[in-house]
Chains A and B, each alone.
Chain A
Amino acid sequence: MVLMQHAMGATVTRYLLIESRDPCRSHAFGLRCELAAALRTDGAEVTLFLVENAVLGVRAAARLPALDKLAKHGVELLADEFALRERGIGAAEIAAIVKPAHLDTLAGLLAGGARAIWN
């Protein structure tokens, strides 16, 4: 497994959590957010990449406290721009803490050795 070299010389592991379920309907979403926060607290780089119905949670109007908490922990929050377009979620509706991203970004993280879990 590839480890990223930290600026201080220490090795930092990157985790990639891919979430595909609607956060409002998935009871386990909160648990996975806790996992992401815990990994971040342990010093890892963590990306939560939302695909398919999981992008429904990134609308500012959805007001998901779990995502705010992750952003405060320094977890990178990305949402599949294709899934956003498919669901008619425009840029103006997306919470500022989330960045739309192409699946190429996801492929790049995998190619870079991020430890990935698909939910």
Chain B
Amino acid sequence: MKDPKSLAFLLMDAPFEQARTATAFRLIDATLRRSVGARVFAYEGAVSLAVTRQKPHANAIHGRTLEEEAHPRPHAWITALADLAREKGVAFEWVNCGLCVDERGSDEAVPAARRGSPADFWKMAQESANTLVIPTR
């Protein structure tokens, strides 16, 4: 069934590499703040966004401690998006491509993310009001 109050997104970039990742998270955040649901399919390198073993670090070059550096961890952003969706009472789904997870050994994911297949993306696109693919290069 089509949910006119949700958007589907496909992400492909691995964490810590491209500006596209931060822009995509900002866009999903803006979507949820409009009380519109978000269904995200993470493909290829993007499956590593949800990995819980990401570790923050200090920045010796700039002389910042671990706390001062406050290094971003995308898995925490996914959890924050899930919390925001709950607060807004809208749908939120984060599905990782299972084969991509296996290839990368990225199977330790945050609870907000689940394993799936490209068929889930097809379903998300069918059920959402609109779909945006953010391709890698």
Q: Is B19's CB under 8 angstroms from A53's CB?
A: yes
Name the CB-closest residue of B to A109.
Answer: B130
Which residues of chain A in 98-114 are interfacial with respect to chain B, using CB atoms and an 8 Å cutoff? Answer: 102-104, 106-108, 110-111, 113-114
Q: Scan residues 32-48 of chain B and give those whose CB is less than 8 A from a CB of chain A.
A: 33-34, 36
Is B88's beta carbon under 8 Å from chain A? no
- Residue-wise, chain B 122-137 has the 8 Å CB interface mask toward A (1 for contact) of 0000000110111100
- Which residues of chain B are within 8 angstroms of A110 by Cβ–Cβ distance? 7, 31, 130, 132
For A102, what are the chain B residues with a Cβ–Cβ distance below 8 Å? 30
Q: Would you give the 0/1 interface string for A10-22, flagging 1 where the beta carbon is closer than 8 Å to chain B?
A: 0000000010100
Contact B19 A20 (CB under 8 A): yes
What is the size, in residues, of chain B's interface with A at 8 Å between Cβ atoms? 17
Closest to B38 in A: A107
Minimum CB–CB distance for B119 against chain A, Å: 21
Interface residues of A in 27-43 (CB under 8 A from B): none
Q: Name the distance in Å between B27's Cβ and chain A's nearest Cβ.
A: 5
CB contact under 8 A between A108 and B19, given known A118-B132, A118-B133? no
Q: B130 contacts A107, CB within 8 Å?
A: no
B135, chain A: closest CB distance, angstroms: 7
Using Cβ atoms and an 8 Å threshold, which residues of chain B touch A53? Answer: 19
- Some 29 contacts from A to B, beta carbons below 8 A apart, are A20-B19, A20-B20, A20-B23, A52-B19, A52-B20, A53-B19, A80-B23, A82-B26, A83-B23, A103-B23, A103-B30, A104-B33, A104-B34, A106-B27, A106-B30, A107-B7, A107-B34, A107-B36, A108-B34, A110-B31, A110-B132, A111-B7, A111-B31, A111-B129, A114-B130, A116-B130, A118-B133, A118-B134, A118-B135
Binding site for A on B (CB under 8 A): 7, 19-20, 23, 26-27, 30-31, 33-34, 36, 129-130, 132-135
